[in-house]
Structure 1
Amino acid sequence: MSHDLLASISSSEIASILTSQPTLFTSEKINNLSIYASREGKTSWPFADGVIVVEENAASKYKLAVEFKRVNEGIHGILTALGQSQAYLKKGYHGTIIIIPAEYSTHNAPGEYLKDILDLVAENLPIMIFTYSINNESELDITCNRSINLSKMTIESTRITNQTSTISTQWAHLREGSTEPDTFYRYLQTAKRIDLTELKEPNIQFPDELINAVPNDYCPLKYLSNAPGDTYHDFVWRHFWFTYVINERTLPLFTMNNGEYKVCNASSSLLINNGSPKYFFVGKSNSPKNKIVKKLNDDSITEEQAWLEYARNIKDRAHSFREDIDSSLYHIGMIHEDGKPTSIGYKFVDACERNRNDSLSGTPLAIFESAIIQNGELGAFIHYVSLASQKIFRDNPLKYSVIEEEYRSFDSNSYLQDVEKILADDIKVIRKVSLRGGVSRKPFQAELAILGFLGFLKKGRNRFKPVIGLDIDWEKVYSALYREI
Structure 2
Amino acid sequence: MSHDLYATWACAEIASIIRNNQPTYFTNSGYPTGWTVGSGREGGRLWPLADGVISSYHSSVTDDLHIAVEFKRTNEGLHGTLTALGQSLAYLHKGYHASIIVIPEKYTSHSSPANHIKDVLDLTANTMPVGVYGYKEPDLTKLNPFENQITCYRQPQLSLSPLVTGASVGSRPKSSTLWAHVREGMSYPDVFYKYCKEVKFVTSYPSNRNFQLLPELIAAVNRIMPTADPIKFLSYTKDDSILDRTWLHVWFNYYFHKNLRPIFTKDPHTGLYAVNAKASLIKQNKSEFANFLSGRKDSLKEKIVEKLNKGSLTEDEAWEEYVRTVRNQAHSYREVIDSGLYHLNLIDSEGNLTKVGYKFVDEADKESSVYSNTAIQILRGAALVYGNFSAFLHYVYQLSEEVFSEEAMYFASMNRKNGTIKFDNVGFKAYLYEKMKDDLSLILTSSIRSPGNPRNAFQAEIPFLKYLGLIDEGTPFRLGTGLLINWPVVQESIEYMNANNL
2:392 counterpart residue number: 381
Aligned to 2:462: 448
What amino acid sits opposite 2:157 in the alignment? N
> 1 CA distance for matches of 2:321 and 2:19?
49
Aligned-partner Cα distance in 2 for 1:395–1:271: 42
Q: List aligned pairs for 1:37-436, cutoff 5 A.
A: 37-57=39-59, 59-134=62-137, 138=141, 139-140=145-146, 141-151=149-159, 155=163, 159-195=167-203, 198-200=206-208, 202-214=209-221, 215=224, 216-257=226-267, 258-259=269-270, 260-354=272-366, 356-404=367-415, 405-433=418-446
CA distance in 1, matches of 2:387, 2:181: 8
> Normalising to structure 1: TM-score of the pair?
0.91
Give secondary structure in 1 for the equivalent of 2:491: helix
Taking a change above 3 Å as real, the CA distance of residues 156 and 295 of structure 1, as seen in their structure-2 partners, is closer
Distance in 2 (CA, whole Å) between partners of 1:305 and 1:228 is: 25
Deviation (angstroms), 1:353: 1.4
SS in 2 for 1:271: coil
1:370-404 Cα deviation digits (max 9, x unpaired): 11112111111112222332443354332212244
Amino acid paired to 1:481: I
Question: What code does the residue aligned with 2:43 have?
Answer: G
Structure-1 separation of matches of 2:101 and 2:37: 17
Q: Equivalent residue for 1:16?
A: 16
Aligned length: 482
Alignment gaps of 5+ in structure 2: none
- TM-score (ref. length: structure 2): 0.88
User: What are the Cα deviations for residues 234-254 of structure 1, in whole angstroms up to 9, with x where unaligned?
Assistant: 222222222222233222222
Sequence identity of aligned pairs in percent?
A: 37
Distance in 1 separating the partners of 2:291 and 2:157: 54
Do the aligned partners of residues 470 and 437 (structure 1) sit closer, same or farther apart at CA in structure 2, a change above 3 Å counting?
Answer: farther
1:430-457 CA-partner distances (Å, limit 9, x unpaired): 1132698994853101101111221222
1:470 Cα deviation after fit: 1.8
Alignment of 1:28-39 (within 5 A): 28=28, 29-39=31-41
CA distance in 2, matches of 1:459, 1:177: 16
Q: Distance in 2 between matches of 1:158 and 1:309?
A: 38
**Whole-Å Cα distance in 2 between the matches of residues 5 and 470 of structure 1?**
20
Q: Kindly provide the CA deviation profile for residues 19-76 of structure 1, in whole angstroms up to 9, marking residues without a partner as x.
A: 1112443434335211111110123111110011122227544211111111222222
Q: Does the 8 A contact of 2:470 with 2:490 survive in 1? A: yes
Question: Structure 1 pair 95/213, CA: closer, same or farther in 2 (3 Å)?
Answer: same
1:328: Cα distance to partner?
A: 1.1
State how far apart, in whole Å, the 1-side matches of 2:422 and 2:273 are.
47
Structure 1 unmatched ranges of 5 or more:
none
Is the Cα–Cα contact under 8 Å of residues 344 and 387 in structure 2 kept in the other structure?
Answer: yes
Counterpart Cα distance in 2 of 1:385 and 1:420:
9
